[in-house]
A = this chain, B = another copy of it.
Amino acid sequence: MTLHTGRHTLQIPGPTNVPDRVLRAIDMPVLDHRGPEFAVLGHEVLADIKRIFRTKQPVIIYPSSGTGAWEAAIVNTLSPGDKVLTAETGQFATLWLAMAKKFNLDVDVLPTDWRRGAPLDLIEERLKADREHKIKAVMIVHNETSTSCVTHPLEVRKILDRNKHPALLLVDTISGLGAMEYEHDAWGIDVSISGSQKGMMLPAGLGFNAVSEKALAASKANTSTRYYWDWHQVIANNAQGSFPYTPATNLLYGLKVAIAMMEEEGLENVWARHKRHGAATRAAVKEWGLELVCQDPHAYSPALTAVMLPDGYDSDAFRKVVLDNFDMSLGAGLNKIKGKAFRIGHLGHQNDLMLMGALAGIEMSLDLAEVPHRAGGVAAAMEVLKGRETASMLKAVVA
């Protein structure tokens, strides 16, 4: 067992800290998933989760990780040979499109340097050129967790609309949901994909698909083989508050409480809090003289901040200094930026002082690890956080 003198500082971009109220809910005894008491819970969480996705449409809840929810989106809406348009904005986009290829989709990948969102101009170019509407879906990662760059789904929707292109819009908002503005219905998303372990403040184990009417229609016409992920049998069972196979009941207990907490704070306040924490973190990084992975301010993520180390400094060695000295976990650089970047998660169950503890741990470790930097990042972050809005925001109290 590792020695923890005080709480471990979990500052990875997911799984995130689970609130005590949520953990205690998960800790309750299992109940009969076919009985009337479960049905009440089932109806509640199925209604609750819609409010988080901002949709009136069904949200399918799987006992799975987020990867399963990706797979569900693909096998329900697309068939082998279907053409899809996507952008390689980072490691998670890369994995998702690798999955699409595994399912024999014809994947048109728009490359990027992993330091910005999806290239909207190229997306528009491709869609415009696709007069025959061979592109069946556009697949977008909302918040690319490997780079901390956001692609704004509404901007993609607008491109589709102004080009009158009928392709489905599939959005991975695994680390976006609950951490930044998201509007499944208003933004015209066809499939929103998410999971429990990021902004939703739960342990991993639930995957989500929010689905538009158009996506449902597409799935009915789609002949891809599928069973576990099939939306329709889940939706059919959900009408009775139940699930076609044994649900992860204890996580559903937690989901109910997590959503209650988000709504006590107010979903817009949750988003605003993440924005402030993103701004404070970037202020620290700037003061340290380090470079952000994300080079487009329009794409800065409120959920996490990926940071480059200077050439010649290994980010995994740095993370080890942080872990060994201050019992804090940071996210690693992945794939193209492995060893070059580290990631600071600031999503989910977070507040100003948790973030300040984390930033202090990074500033001290930069020194201990002898990474060239300026002191003062912590002070800069404080300047952001003590802005007047802080006071009013945190004063909110629920009855």
In the assembled complex, A102 has its CB within 8 A of some CB on chain B: yes
Across the interface, name the chain B residue whose C-beta is closest to A321. B391
Contact call B251/A205, Cβ cutoff below 8 A: yes
In the assembled complex, A68 has its CB within 8 A of some CB on chain B: yes
A227-261 interface (Cβ within 8 A of B) = 227-228, 244-251
In the assembled complex, A398 has its CB within 8 A of some CB on chain B: yes
In the assembled complex, A363 has its CB within 8 A of some CB on chain B: yes
In the assembled complex, A264 has its CB within 8 A of some CB on chain B: yes
Chain B nearest Cβ from A317, distance in angstroms = 14
Flag the segment in A29-37, A133-141, A152-160 that touches B.
A29-37
Contact call B396/A3, Cβ cutoff below 8 A: yes
C-alpha gap A360/B284 in the complex (Å): 14
In the assembled complex, A203 has its CB within 8 A of some CB on chain B: yes
Which residues of chain B come closer than 8 Å to A395, judged between CB atoms? 324-325
Which residues of chain B come closer than 8 Å to A397, judged between CB atoms? 2-3
Q: Which of B12, B228, B360, B361 contacts A71 (CB 8 A)?
A: B228
In the assembled complex, A194 has its CB within 8 A of some CB on chain B: no
Size of the chain A interface, CB-CB below 8 angstroms: 110
A211-234 interface (Cβ within 8 A of B) = 225-228
Which residues of chain B come closer than 8 Å to A52, judged between CB atoms? none
Which residues of chain B come closer than 8 Å to A98, judged between CB atoms? 227
Flag the segment in A113-121, A298-306, A379-387 that touches B.
A379-387
* Known interface pairs A28-B20, A247-B204; A386-B368 also in contact (CB < 8 Å): yes
In the assembled complex, A93 has its CB within 8 A of some CB on chain B: no
In the assembled complex, A367 has its CB within 8 A of some CB on chain B: yes
C-alpha gap A320/B33 in the complex (Å): 15
Q: Which of B14, B29, B270, B357 contacts A357 (CB 8 A)?
A: B357
Contact call A31/B8, Cβ cutoff below 8 A: yes
* Known interface pairs A68-B228, A249-B204, A324-B391; A17-B28 also in contact (CB < 8 Å): no
C-alpha gap A18/B249 in the complex (Å): 12
Per-position binary interface string of chain A over residues 1-19, scored 1 when its CB falls under 8 Å from any chain B CB and 0 otherwise: 1111111111010111111
User: Which 6 A-B pairs give the minimum distances between C-beta atoms?
Assistant: A6-B351, A357-B357, A356-B360, A353-B357, A32-B329, A67-B245
Chain A residues packing against B (C-beta within 8 Å): 1-10, 12, 14-21, 23-37, 62-68, 71, 80, 98-99, 102-104, 195, 197, 203-205, 225-228, 244-251, 264-265, 270, 273, 321, 323-329, 331-332, 349-358, 360-361, 363-364, 367-368, 375-376, 378-379, 382, 385-386, 390-391, 394-399
List 8 A-B residue pairs with CB atoms under 8 Å apart, sorted by A's residue number: A4-B351, A5-B270, A7-B351, A8-B31, A15-B246, A32-B329, A63-B65, A68-B68
Other A-B contacts than A8-B31, A352-B361, A356-B357, 5 sampled, CB-CB below 8 A, are A26-B27, A35-B329, A63-B65, A68-B245, A203-B248
